[in-house]
């Protein structure tokens, strides 16, 4: 009888310790379980008014395919729209310095833009101009041949 009670006690204690450990990992280190870290600076956001960007479409071998006009909006923390808007010329310059080196042309005639590549170019430029966590995301709202 004493062996059965000790076995049950050990099982219950093991489940308790294991459950507490699992809860601790999920609570304090969720990126270990899900593979995604919590985004820093969560809170209300807003979008900067749309901005048009004329960008060259370049093939992977460096040849110019044509030009594309993109309309973008930047998602920023609430209350920073004016600060981000004041530096938009610097952002456009940083985007222009990157687009001719980034192959974005796709399709048989090279006139289809790669939106993911363009979004990455804008995010990299925003990191350089505004710093970390100033721009949360980039929305490409329109793309048309330039």
Residues 28 and 80 in one domain: no
**pLDDT tens, residue by residue, 85-144:** 899 999 999 998 888 888 888 777 777 787 888 899 999 999 999 988 889 999 988 888
Q: Tell me what pLDDT residue 124 has.
A: 92
Q: Give the chain's radius of gyration (CA, Å).
A: 25
Total structural domains within the chain: 2
pTM for the model stands at 0.67
Residue 38 lies in a domain: no
Q: Which two tokens stand for residue 28?
A: 């304090």
Q: Phi first, then psi: what are they for 67, rounded to 5°?
A: -125, 150
Other Cβ atoms within 10 Å of 70 Cβ, number: 25
CA angle at 118 for the pair 125 and 110, rounded to the nearest 5°: 140
Residues contacting residue 17 through CB under 8 Å, at least 6 positions apart: none
Residue 136 lies in a domain: yes
**pLDDT tens, residue by residue, 17-71:** 787 777 777 777 766 655 555 555 577 889 999 999 888 888 888 888 888 889 9
Domain residues for 93? 45-145
Residues 63 and 105 in one domain: yes
Residues 23 and 74 in one domain: no
Residue 83 lies in a domain: yes
């Amino acid at each position: 009888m004493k062996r059965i009670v000790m076995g049950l006690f050990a099982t219950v204690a093991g489940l308790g310790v294991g459950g507490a450990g699992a809860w601790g990992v999920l609570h304090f280190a969720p990126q270990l379980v899900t593979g995604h870290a919590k985004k820093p600076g969560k809170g209300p956001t807003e979008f900067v008014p749309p901005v048009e960007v004329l960008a060259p479409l370049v093939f992977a071998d460096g040849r110019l395919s044509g030009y594309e006009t993109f309309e973008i909006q930047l998602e920023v923390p609430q209350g920073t729209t004016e600060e981000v808007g004041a530096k938009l010329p610097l952002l456009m310059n940083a985007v222009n310095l990157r687009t001719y080196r980034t192959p974005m042309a796709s399709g048989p005639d090279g006139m289809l833009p790669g939106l993911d590549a363009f979004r990455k170019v804008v995010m990299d430029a925003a990191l350089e101009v505004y710093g970390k966590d100033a721009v949360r995301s980039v929305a490409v709202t329109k793309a048309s041949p330039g």
